[in-house]
Chains A and B, each alone.
Chain A
Amino acid sequence: MTFQNVESHMVPMPNRNIDTDQIIPARFLKTISKEGLGDNLFCDWRYDAQGKPKPDFILNQPIAKGAQVLLAGDNFGCGSSREHAPWALTQFGFRAVISTSFADIFKANSLKNGLLPLLVPADVHAELFAAVAKSEHAKVKIDLPNQTLTTPGGRQVTFPVDSFAKHCLLEGVDEIGYSMQREAEIAAFEAKRVGSINTLA
């Protein structure tokens, strides 16, 4: 899944430590496919006991329509390793999540699904929340090749991204295919391994 540059308004979700159980509750993990998760993104925050949208939740407000960027509080995506979290986020329409920090497994899972975890320092983070508070239409531009984020105020800041992950996102590199090219090295490594188990024994 390749990543195209994004220009979008933002959905603000300032809560710190949003865990993957909130992003997609465990009861939706009984599926054997990747489909149909977007409708249940943030399910327990989004719908009441009767399944009706809660009007005060941000994803039920006009700002969420067409938004490709989620502006989230610190340490986004902590908890469970479920890849259903980035599947649900991308199915809803998000292409990037901006935060000051991300949980490791969520970050890795996102990068494999064309969802950019975009790391910003605290001052930029605060500036973005202030801009959204001022206008729902405040837009950011994300340029992955140049690793720049342009704030609604026109400030251009660079963001870090793992060089290999960037390459994969831009070129749509198939990581399994990439690793399979190393077959000779894998086989050579295996030939030297000692003390292996055999689960089939």
Chain B
Amino acid sequence: MPRTIIEKLWDSHVVAQQPGAPALLYIDLHLVHEVTSPQAFQGLRERKLKVRRPDLTVATLDHSIPTTDRSLPIVDQIAARQVAQLGTNCAEFGIRLYGLDSDRQGIVHVIGPELGLTQPGMTVVCGDSHTATHGAFGALAFGIGTSEIEHVLATQCLLQRPSKTFEVKVPGTLRPGVSAKDIILALIAKIGIGGGTESVFEYTGTAIRALSVEERMTVCNMSIEAGARAGLVAPDDATFQYLQGRPYAPKGAAWDTAVARWKQLPTDEGARYDRTVTIDADRLEPMITFGTNPGMGVPIGSPVPEPSKISDPAERDALVKALQYMGLEGGKPLLGRPVNVVFIGSCTNSRISDLRTAAGVLKGRKVNPNVRVLVVPGSQEVKRQAIAEGLPEIFRAAGAEWREPGCSMCIAMNGDYVPTGEYSVSTSNRNFEGRQGKGARTFLASPLTAAASAITGVVTDIRTLL
């Protein structure tokens, strides 16, 4: 029977299946960071267990760490303790840690791919909901909680039920000024933040095929924001080219064997999905969110919805509350609204191609004096590459801050935050109340839109600056 890539990935990782019980699913790569793991390691200690496969496990620091000068001590003592605890845990359990002194440190979802650890056909987990990022390689990658982290550390397996298969078709060609971020924001706006619950997305279609691997990561990254367990793109030559030569990618004859195996992964002709939705790339506009969840998004020139025009009372209430928090009125577009902060970074948009895009807009221009702009590379490797290309000079000359790698203002637990009541245009993934700081108001958008808004000081359609 023809199978989707989602089913192939599942089938090839089932270790055991007891009647009535969930499958025991094997995990090929376990990524660990400081925030969701301490209680899992403590659990192992209390049970007197070891990490079963430290060779399939890797850790880094990203969420709690400052993005300022790394030679200085961490001022926040609670964060410092959490950072130190990951070091202790990795040393005690024999896990490789890309820590603050490592030239490979970075956001967990940025370093996995760039080290070549993430490969097609794998199952990848991490105690982080944006683990779907790794799906860009044709891996089944999903976020887990701390109990499940402990389970994987102890057994290298998880107890799981299969997800529904959900095809997200993106035919057509993106127009200038429209990017990968706009595809995913448009999908979430279309199906809602619970639209993908219990499902794994497979992104297909000519517009997806035309994306670079880094852009595919941006799309897969936000699958969770539509409620999906995971999202993935079948591997192709672009995937193989990205991987070849990376530190942990197979070498020599093993490379050829691996590519031959990976070529078997794409969905078979005639395979059926439980559900399909289509986003027409030809008609896509740059997207921006106006509300307090990632599904509250519109094309950048469109007005914010008006509560009075919404018939469903619960939906209307949600919109009223969101607009109140955001200090916005329905019926007007966001274009032209003043912005206080622009954040270019996060596991969604902090890779070298994102920084090149932002630099392309900022080059030879000046950031509006009313705007604070943070550019936070996703990893030390991204930072090195950016320096080699002269990007920090472009950012600094324009008046933007160039920082050290980390999650930074996406989750605002490291000292980088948007002050209460202020507006940010952010390339991150969540606009929940308080996400970027208590009382912060977030407009999610692409690096192009963020950079354009940084220059003008107001929400701006990049196409007016091209």
Q: Which residues on A are within 8 Å of B, measured CB to CB?
A: 14-17, 19, 21-22, 25-27, 29-34, 44, 49, 73-75, 78-83, 101-105, 108-109, 112-113, 162-164, 175-176, 178-180, 182, 185-186, 189-190, 193-201
Contact with A along B241-262 (1 / 0, CB 8 A): 0000000101000100110010
**Contact present for B197 and A175 (CB under 8 Å):** no
Give the CA-CA distance A182 to B22 in the complex, in Å: 13
Give the CA-CA distance A108 to B159 in the complex, in Å: 10
A-B contact pairs, 19 of them (CB 8 A): A30-B64, A30-B78, A32-B38, A32-B85, A33-B38, A44-B438, A49-B420, A104-B227, A105-B145, A179-B24, A179-B157, A180-B154, A182-B16, A185-B16, A186-B15, A186-B24, A197-B56, A199-B54, A200-B94
Out of A27, A103, A108, A194, name the residue touching B412 (CB < 8 Å): A27
Q: Taking the complex as formed, is B107 at the interface, i.e. its CB lies under 8 A from any CB of chain A?
A: no
| Additional pairs, 4, CB under 8 Å, beyond known A33-B39, A81-B128, A190-B26 | A79-B224, A104-B229, A105-B144, A175-B151
Give the CA-CA distance A185 to B21 in the complex, in Å: 15
Q: Taking the complex as formed, is B117 at the interface, i.e. its CB lies under 8 A from any CB of chain A?
A: yes
Out of A19, A26, A164, A185, name the residue touching B22 (CB < 8 Å): A164
Considering only residues 1-56 of chain B, those with a C-beta below 8 Å from chain A are 15-16, 20-22, 24, 26, 28-29, 35-36, 38-39, 42, 47, 49, 54-56
Give the CA-CA distance A16 to B420 in the complex, in Å: 23
**Contact present for A108 and B36 (CB under 8 Å):** no
The chain A residue with its CB closest to the CB of B318 is: A16
Give the CA-CA distance A14 to B313 in the complex, in Å: 11
Out of A25, A163, A176, A189, name the residue touching B47 (CB < 8 Å): A176
* A49 / chain B contacts, CB cutoff of 8 Å: 420
**Contact present for B55 and A83 (CB under 8 Å):** no
Give the CA-CA distance A112 to B413 in the complex, in Å: 26
**Contact present for A75 and B54 (CB under 8 Å):** no
**Contact present for A179 and B433 (CB under 8 Å):** no
The chain B residue with its CB closest to the CB of A183 is: B155
Q: Lowest 6 A-B CB distances belong to which pairs? A: A109-B145, A32-B38, A75-B194, A83-B145, A112-B147, A81-B143
* B21 / chain A contacts, CB cutoff of 8 Å: 164
Q: Taking the complex as formed, is B305 at the interface, i.e. its CB lies under 8 A from any CB of chain A?
A: no
**Contact present for B434 and A30 (CB under 8 Å):** no
**Contact present for B147 and A81 (CB under 8 Å):** no
**Contact present for B227 and A103 (CB under 8 Å):** yes
Give the CA-CA distance A20 to B377 in the complex, in Å: 26
Give the CA-CA distance A27 to B63 in the complex, in Å: 10
- Asked if A26 meets B193 with Cβ closer than 8 Å, knowing A109-B147, A179-B155, A199-B55, the reply is no
* A33 / chain B contacts, CB cutoff of 8 Å: 38-39, 42
**Contact present for B26 and A189 (CB under 8 Å):** yes
Interface of A is mostly: loop
**Contact present for B151 and A32 (CB under 8 Å):** no
The chain B residue with its CB closest to the CB of A200 is: B55
**Contact present for B250 and A195 (CB under 8 Å):** yes
- Size band of the interface chain B makes with A: 35 or more
**Contact present for B147 and A83 (CB under 8 Å):** yes
Q: Taking the complex as formed, is B289 at the interface, i.e. its CB lies under 8 A from any CB of chain A?
A: no
Give the CA-CA distance A73 to B314 in the complex, in Å: 9
* B412 / chain A contacts, CB cutoff of 8 Å: 26-27
**Contact present for A198 and B198 (CB under 8 Å):** no
- Asked if A82 meets B57 with Cβ closer than 8 Å, knowing A27-B412, A30-B64, A112-B147, the reply is no
Considering only residues 221-250 of chain B, those with a C-beta below 8 Å from chain A are 224, 227, 229, 248, 250
* B144 / chain A contacts, CB cutoff of 8 Å: 81, 105, 108
**Contact present for B318 and A17 (CB under 8 Å):** yes
**A21, A75, A80: residue with the most chain B Cβ atoms closer than 10 Å:** A80
Out of B55, B94, B150, B314, name the residue touching A198 (CB < 8 Å): B55
Give the CA-CA distance A69 to B430 in the complex, in Å: 28
**Contact present for A26 and B29 (CB under 8 Å):** no
**Contact present for B434 and A25 (CB under 8 Å):** yes
* A185 / chain B contacts, CB cutoff of 8 Å: 15-16, 24
**Contact present for A27 and B413 (CB under 8 Å):** yes
How near does chain B come to A32, taking the closest CB pair, in angstroms? 4
Q: Taking the complex as formed, is B161 at the interface, i.e. its CB lies under 8 A from any CB of chain A?
A: yes
Give the CA-CA distance A186 to B229 in the complex, in Å: 24
**Contact present for B26 and A78 (CB under 8 Å):** no
* A175 / chain B contacts, CB cutoff of 8 Å: 147, 151, 159
Q: Taking the complex as formed, is B399 at the interface, i.e. its CB lies under 8 A from any CB of chain A?
A: no
* A189 / chain B contacts, CB cutoff of 8 Å: 15, 26
Out of B36, B49, B58, B76, name the residue touching A82 (CB < 8 Å): B36
Give the CA-CA distance A113 to B39 in the complex, in Å: 13
Q: Taking the complex as formed, is B263 at the interface, i.e. its CB lies under 8 A from any CB of chain A?
A: no
- Asked if A21 meets B433 with Cβ closer than 8 Å, knowing A33-B39, A163-B20, A199-B55, the reply is yes
**Contact present for A103 and B194 (CB under 8 Å):** yes
**Contact present for B193 and A17 (CB under 8 Å):** yes
